[in-house]
Amino acid sequence: MKFFVDTADVGKIKDLAETGMVDGVTTNPSLVAKTGRDFSEVIAEICSIVSGPVSAEVAATDAPTMIAEGRKLHNIAENVTVKVPLTVDGLKACRTLSDEGTMVNVTLCFSSAQAILAAKAGATFVSPFVGRLDDIGSNGMELIRDICEIYANHTAFKTEILVASVRHPMHVVESARLGVDVVTIPPSAIRQLYNHPLTDKGLDAFLKDWAGTGQSIL
Ligand code: E4P
């Protein structure tokens, strides 16, 4: 399972990239707005740090402008993945850009029916938003289970499932259990993945006992 980082914060991406577990990055207009920086500059900088797919989202809502924006974004770097919303125009843009050899991430997917359409449109990735479904009392991971089952039944579908809107470690663990291709995780949830109180407690005890020996390894 690939790990993407869900942020446009270059400092955080650099820091996490040092762990060697960053396979790609996803951004969206809200995440870019938070940085207060120029969109193209941010995407170019991220692409210079991470060699895997870096999602950059179009801002237009009509297919011809989405396609023009997508081509411009793709020119920033070879690994730019153009992100389009799951709308009729978004799927038209997906088909055109995919046929041109550009990676496309179809975002804002909230149903299995939408995921089928993304695959039919030749998307490289489809992004179902599990956290936002949980937020409205639906079960986000149920949707992932459904999409996994549907895609497994249709080998012609080459689209990778990219679990998005991840809020906590169980979204990641359950995604791994279901065999999804990619999970995009915000830096805050990545920190939660590392943390366990017994790890901290155990380390404290080891360090205390080690100090008592008066020894040093170096
Ligand atoms: C995915 O590509 C989106 O950028 C992201 O996962 C949305 O997450 P949110 O629901 O936390 O905003």
Task: State residue 57 phi and psi, 5-degree precision.
Answer: -95, 140
Q: Which residues contact 140 (CB under 8 A, 6 or more apart)?
A: 128, 129, 130, 131, 132, 133, 134, 165, 171
129 touches ligand 1 (CB under 6 Å): yes
**Cα–Cα distance for residue pair 193/156, rounded to 1 Å:** 34
Residue 179 Ramachandran class (φ > 0 left, ψ -120 to 50 alpha, else beta): left
Tens digits of residue pLDDT in 156-174: 999 999 999 999 999 999 9
Cα–Cα distance for residue pair 185/51, rounded to 1 Å: 17
CA distances from 92 to 36, 106, 129, 177 (A): 30, 11, 21, 33
Report the residue among 6, 55, 106, 175 best suited for mutation to probe ligand 1: largest number of ligand atoms under 8 A from its CB.
Answer: 6
Q: Decide: 56 and 27 in contact? Cβ < 8 Å.
A: yes
Query: Is any ligand 1 atom within 6 A of the Cβ of residue 131?
Result: yes
* 200: confidence class by pLDDT, cuts 50, 70, 90: very high
pLDDT score of 177: 98
* pTM of structure: 0.95
CA atoms of 133 and 138, how far apart (whole Å): 5
Check residue 87 and report its DSSP letter: S
Please report the pLDDT score of residue 56 as a whole number: 98
Kindly report the protein residue whose alpha carbon is nearest to atom 12 of ligand 1.
Answer: 165
- For the segment 85-104, what is each residue's pLDDT rounded down to a tens digit? 999 999 999 999 999 999 99
